[in-house]
């Protein structure tokens, strides 16, 4: 077998390993690159994220993530507030006494029960909170607080790690006839199912959410797309990512890490669909940005695309830069291992083996 043939076989095997070959030149699931509107939105997303991070770092602040499952900001105050907890404990004690008193139990309202459940959440007494959420649901006969109860009780069950209660509440969520205003509840459901790696549950929730496109706020759209990508339903995930980036603008109620995932996932899904030209364009944009993690990933994927296109010298240079860069992920180990391979393939292509591949062949 000639050296050129060996090289072509290596490239074909690499393409097959990445799933880039299929029916037709771009694969069975080929797509075009981004439209003009989508490309503009993508650049707006990236610029907005860069400015957000630059502003935060200039003030020496940490990323403002919201804590799961209650979507509350992390504790930022220098000292605790004991009097607040004393006030909450007093309110809880008074309401518990009223509830047990036959003479006063009729005075209890759904709002008061909901408030007591929230007090228990503030005290991290999630089991007691779940009891009071259930009491509030029984008293809320007209459904005034059904949206709050749906989201908060599911979040409390998740915080308690009460999988049985979560399963019961998720069954209620799946059976809802109307999802308007239930976006927060659906987000908690997505995050629980992803944490539990529950493929069947996610498929049901995806199906349920897809039937109510009007509830797909930007934040819910993110988790919907994330779940679709995790389930390897790539065409559907791309559709929702395109929807997100078309919106352009600011944070869209997403954290910095979530916005960065969208920016990386869009070219990744184009890459997996066989649209190497479209993916490369976005990866090169990322490789030049000021966000170290995204820039490193973009540079790494450009090197991978160079390798698949038999541009081994460019690939080797890219892998070397990623390998020597600041440590950001295990994928850098792969970049380090690919440096020698790319350099050797470049040497074979430019010089050839001194004795030819036939020297190693015996009939």
Give me the residue spans of the domains in the chain.
8-65+255-356
357 vs 22 pLDDT, higher one:
357
pLDDT, one tens digit per residue, over 150-199 is: 999 999 999 999 999 999 999 999 998 889 999 999 999 999 999 999 99
Instruction: Indicate the pTM of the whole model.
Output: 0.82
pLDDT, one tens digit per residue, over 100-129 is: 656 565 678 899 889 889 988 988 899 999
Percent of the chain residues topping a pLDDT of 90:
61
Q: What's the confidence (pLDDT) of residue 85?
A: 61
pLDDT band per the 50, 70, 90 thresholds, residue 99: low
pLDDT, one tens digit per residue, over 211-265 is: 988 899 999 999 999 999 999 999 999 999 999 999 887 888 899 999 999 999 9
Of 83-87, 115-119, 274-278, 333-337, where does mean pLDDT reach its minimum?
83-87
18 vs 363 pLDDT, higher one:
363
Of 87-101, 147-161, 201-215, where does mean pLDDT reach its minimum?
87-101
Q: What's the confidence (pLDDT) of residue 67?
A: 86
pLDDT band per the 50, 70, 90 thresholds, residue 355: low
Residue 342 has pLDDT above 90, yes or no: yes
Q: What's the confidence (pLDDT) of residue 234?
A: 95
Q: What's the confidence (pLDDT) of residue 95?
A: 66
Average pLDDT on 261-288 reads: 95
pLDDT band per the 50, 70, 90 thresholds, residue 38: very high
As a three-state string, the secondary structure of the chain is CCHHHHHHHHHHHHHHHCCCCECECCCCCCCCCCCHHHHHHHHHHHHHHHHHHHHHHHCCCCCCCEECCCCEECCCCCCCCHHHHHHHHHHHHHHHHHHHCCCCHHHCCHHHHHHHHHHHHHCCCHHHHHHHHHHHHHHCCCCCCHHHHHHHHHHHHHHHCCHHHHHHHHHHHHCCCCCCCCHHHHHHHHHHHHHHCCHHHHHHHHHHHHCCHHHCCHHHHHHHHHHHHHCCCHHHHHHHHHHHHHHCCCCCCCCHHHHHHHHHHHHHHHHHCCCHHHHHHHHHHHHCCCCHHHHHHHHHHHHHHHHHCCCHHHHHHHHHHHHHCCCCCCHHHHHHHHHHHHHHHHHHHHHCCCCCHHHHCCC
Of 54-58, 266-270, 285-289, where does mean pLDDT reach its minimum?
54-58
Average pLDDT on 59-85 reads: 72
Average pLDDT on 289-301 reads: 95
Average pLDDT on 124-140 reads: 92
Q: What's the confidence (pLDDT) of residue 33?
A: 77
Q: What's the confidence (pLDDT) of residue 353?
A: 60
Residue 131 has pLDDT above 80, yes or no: yes
């Amino acid at each position: 077998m000639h050296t050129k043939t060996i090289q072509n076989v290596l490239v074909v095997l690499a393409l097959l390993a990445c799933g880039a070959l299929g029916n037709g030149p771009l694969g069975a699931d080929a797509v075009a690159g981004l439209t003009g509107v989508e490309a503009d939105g993508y650049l707006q997303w990236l610029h907005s994220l860069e400015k957000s991070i630059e502003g935060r770092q200039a003030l020496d602040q940490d990323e403002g993530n919201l804590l799961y499952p209650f979507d509350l900001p992390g504790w930022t105050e220098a000292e605790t507030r004991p009097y607040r907890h004393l006030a909450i404990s007093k309110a809880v004690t008074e309401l518990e006494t009223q509830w047990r008193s036959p003479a006063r139990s009729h005075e209890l309202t759904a709002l008061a029960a909901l408030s007591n459940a929230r007090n228990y959440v503030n005290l991290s007494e999630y089991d007691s909170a779940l009891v009071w959420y259930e009491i509030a649901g029984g008293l809320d006969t007209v459904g005034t607080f059904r949206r709050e109860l749906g989201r908060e009780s599911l979040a409390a069950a998740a915080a308690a790690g009460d999988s049985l209660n979560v399963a019961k509440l998720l069954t209620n969520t799946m059976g809802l006839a109307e999802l308007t205003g239930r976006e927060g509840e659906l987000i908690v459901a997505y995050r629980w199912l992803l944490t539990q790696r529950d493929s069947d549950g996610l498929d049901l929730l995806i199906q349920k959410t897809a039937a109510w496109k009007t509830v797909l706020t930007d934040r819910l759209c993110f988790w919907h797309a994330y779940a679709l990508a995790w389930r390897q339903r790539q065409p559907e995930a791309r559709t929702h990512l395109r929807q997100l980036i078309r919106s352009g603008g600011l944070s869209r109620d997403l954290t910095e890490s979530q916005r960065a995932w969208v920016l990386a996932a869009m070219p990744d899904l184009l890459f997996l669909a066989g649209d190497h030209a479209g993916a490369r364009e976005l990866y090169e944009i990322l490789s030049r940005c000021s966000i170290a993690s995204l820039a490193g990933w973009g540079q790494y994927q450009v090197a991978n695309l160079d390798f698949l296109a038999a541009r081994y010298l460019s690939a080797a240079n890219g892998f070397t830069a990623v390998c020597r860069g600041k440590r950001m992920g295990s994928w850098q180990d792969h970049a380090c291992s690919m440096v020698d391979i790319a350099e050797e393939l470049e040497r074979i292509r430019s010089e050839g083996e001194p004795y030819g591949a036939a020297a190693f062949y015996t009939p």
